[in-house]
A and B are shown apart, each in its own frame.
Chain A
Amino acid sequence: MNFYILTKITDWLIMAKITLKKLSHSYLTKQNNDSDWALRGVDIDWKDGGAYALLGPSGCGKTTLLNIISGLLKPTKGEVLFDDKDVTVLNPVERDIAQIFQFPVIYDTMTVYDNLAFPLKNRGLSETEIDSKVKEIGEMLELTSTLNNKASGLTADGKQKISLGRGLVRSDVNVIMFDEPLTVIDPHLKWVLRSKLKELHQKINRTMIYVTHDQIEALTFADQVVVMHEGQIVQTGTPVELFEKPKHTFVGHFIGSPGMNILPCEIKNGQINFEGKILPTNTSLKKSNFNKTQVGIRPEFVNFSKDGIAVKVKRVSDTGRHKVIDTECGSGSIKILATSSTQIPSGSAHITFDQKYTYAYGDNWIIE
């Protein structure tokens, strides 16, 4: 009984602070320019027990970063620290991590029970300990009824749960990494597994890192999202921060469905000049010597009004819960997201931007 309590306490204590210092990686032996690097100067400081997401398009370096954190890849430059201990040269087993891949990785010839027990067997735990752990995780993942079945007979989401289970069953796991784990799951089950992962994180409180290109997966799962683009971190923040105040036009474009409207504008006397009108904004625009200045506003924060910027309404799509309106003005196209009940004018109309969420961007970075 004491031993049991002890393991529960150590479970709670063993978490990891993850620090990445100036991490750079290239798959080529010689690098001539920026594009030869998969990762460029990545710095990260993560606390224990959080849920983090690495979000970005294909080729942005997120899987490379994940593999460096897990130890499957040794970085060309930089350091990886777990709890201030340098683990850069340690392999995955020595780092006490678990990784779930894009497609289910299971041992076909074993039963579900044996699959879950396998990592524990290799670490020398006793039969009774293994049994209790496997049954506990089996119940958490709703696999109890299939424990004695052959693993190869399960559906894709069942198999992914086994992959996940093999990570959860080890109490020495510091970090659980997910590399686009819902890729092969049926769309209607994706949703179930997604909320299950979130539930799991809240229950067991271990650091989880989730890599994806799907913003909905990233934003619903993580407390902190790291947005990556071409090997660099563009912005880190909570889903709300990334949504309400994107620091880079890429973040504005990438997050939100549809993404932020980004249009060319002029900055004169600390004010945004767009389509012949001055747009009120809450940010003070001190600097103004940029090659490219743009104004950004999310479709959710554009409203129809009696006067304002003149636009032509091109297309209205009704998605049931809201309407997506494509409009066109002199400087480009502006998308608007409105509730289903909003009256949409046809032909010509006028729009205004919500002052609180209107931002100016100089050379793609926010002007504050």
Chain B
Amino acid sequence: MSLELKNVEKKVGIETHIHSTNLKLEKNTINILLGSTLAGKTTLMQIMAGLDKPTSGEIWFNGENVTGKEVQKRNCSMVYQQFINYPNFTVFENIASPLKITGIKTDEIKKRVGKVAELLKLSAMLEKKPDELSGGQQQRTALARALVKDSDLILLDEPLANLDFKLREELREELPKLFEDRDCIVVYATTEPLDALMIGGNTATLLEGNVIQYGKTLDVYSKPENLTSAKVFSDPPMNIAEIIKTGDTFKLADNNVQWKSNVQIKDGKYKIGIRPHNITTYKEGNNSVEINGKVLISELSGSESLIHFTNGNLNWVSLSNGIQQKNIGEDTKLHMNVNEFLYFDQNNRLVNHG
């Protein structure tokens, strides 16, 4: 079972919402579409579901061309950001609704609904109406309704975005387990890189209607093909600067910070990308370089410190473990882990790392 998009393009008037995309999703995989708000995730998912037709290109499912086939004929289900449930039905009726249409026997419906409700911890709420439930429970109902169909394709469009921070964490943890024993393809859209990293599976980074990179989540994260993919997959944002390489010495273009590395690339100008957690107030790794900075602001969560600092015209962020209180304007010394640097050429393509 596989879902394949061949040269799929979507234009609305003169605007291109999705540029020519080729994607192949395999059975039993969770595929994450990662990108900012208007990157095209929802449009792409609607095309996959059949709610929308591409202006050009084809969609193949299980070796069959399903382009133009109505969504009712395709075996898929969708969960939205806003908790979409039938307000007049109880939780049980909500979950049973896709099964009722297919004409399955009442006993069988009861059994399947019961099983899914237990999986999503809704067994005690089956007789309640959606407006009596909390946000998290409403979204679980929507999820249950999507799962009970046993569809081949399950699409989740930022399902956790409207939930409280903690609820989001909990549900995010449960999601991979929900899809474990099912033979289906799951597509999950989100704006948070952490969602992708915690769920795992495969990730496609999107920007302005383009799929920039697709592959195993950790691969896309640690070996981004280009600077755009790296930027999309960074939260807090990646620190970027111009550098010059001569021999085995690297130097930041605009100030004196230099380091040595065995990275095999030609001499010349490059761009460097450093994730905030690779700049810390303490030394990490066996190859680190110091950088001085003037503190703009330090943000302390219970266990980590985010220090925003400037150096010349660099405006960077560092993330260190532990609490490091720094005052505005203070001069501070930070350490950058050279082994984690990502090098990009002048065309923004990744040339090497570490």
Interfacial residues, chain A to chain B (CB-CB below 8 A): 57-59, 186-188, 191, 194-195, 198-199, 202, 213-216, 219-221, 239-240, 242-244, 253-259, 300, 317-321, 324
Contact = CB atoms under 8 A, between A and B. Distances in A.
Contacts of B90: none
Interface stretch (B78-86, B160-168, B262-270): B160-168
B319 A321 contact: yes
Interface residues of B, number: 35
Contacts, number: 93
Contacts of A258: 169
Contacts of A318: 197, 218
Nearest to A335: B173
B200 interface: yes
B303 A243 contact: yes
A191 B198 contact: no
B237 A239 contact: no
Given A199-B297, A258-B169, A321 B37 contact: no
Contacts of A59: 134
Given A220-B301, A239-B323, 16 more contacts: A57-B167, A187-B36, A187-B37, A195-B296, A195-B299, A199-B296, A199-B328, A213-B164, A215-B302, A216-B165, A220-B306, A242-B302, A255-B302, A256-B302, A318-B218, A321-B275
Contacts of B134: 58-59
12 contacts: A58-B134, A188-B36, A188-B237, A198-B299, A199-B328, A214-B165, A215-B166, A219-B300, A220-B299, A220-B301, A221-B299, A244-B302
A195 B221 contact: no
B314 interface: no
A194, A216, A254 interface centre (most CB from chain B within 10 Å): A216
Contacts of A243: 301-303
Contacts of B319: 321
B351 to A, nearest CB: 20
B334 to A, nearest CB: 15
Query: Looking at chain B's contact residues, is the secondary structure mostly helix, strand, loop, or mixed?
Result: mixed
A199, A220, A244, A255 interface centre (most CB from chain B within 10 Å): A220
Contact of B37 (A186, A216, A221, A239): A186
Contacts of B308: 195
Contacts of A216: 165, 301
Interface string B130-174: 000011000000000000000000000000000011110100000
Contacts of A202: 297, 328
B70 to A, nearest CB: 34
Query: Looking at chain A's contact residues, is the secondary structure mostly helix, strand, loop, or mixed?
Result: helix
A238 B124 CA distance: 38
Nearest to A298: B303
A320 B167 contact: no
Nearest to A201: B297
A220 B198 contact: no
Contacts of A256: 302-303
4 closest A-B pairs (Cβ-Cβ)? A243-B302, A220-B299, A321-B277, A219-B301
A202 B301 CA distance: 17
A321 B319 CA distance: 10
A191 B302 contact: no
Contacts of B237: 188, 191
Contacts of A254: 166
B68 interface: no
Given A213-B165, A319-B194, A219 B36 contact: no
A68 to B, nearest CB: 22
Nearest to B194: A319
B158 to A, nearest CB: 10
Contacts of A324: 198
A125 to B, nearest CB: 30
A257 B169 contact: yes
Contacts of A220: 299-301, 306
A176 B163 CA distance: 26
B277 A320 contact: yes
B299 A259 contact: no
A191 B169 CA distance: 19
Interface in B219-253: 221-222, 235-237
A202 to B, nearest CB: 6
B200 A215 contact: no
B203 interface: no
B191 interface: yes
Nearest to A195: B297
A82 B213 CA distance: 56
B164 A57 contact: yes
A360 B166 CA distance: 23
Contacts of B135: 58
Nearest to A246: B302
B290 interface: no
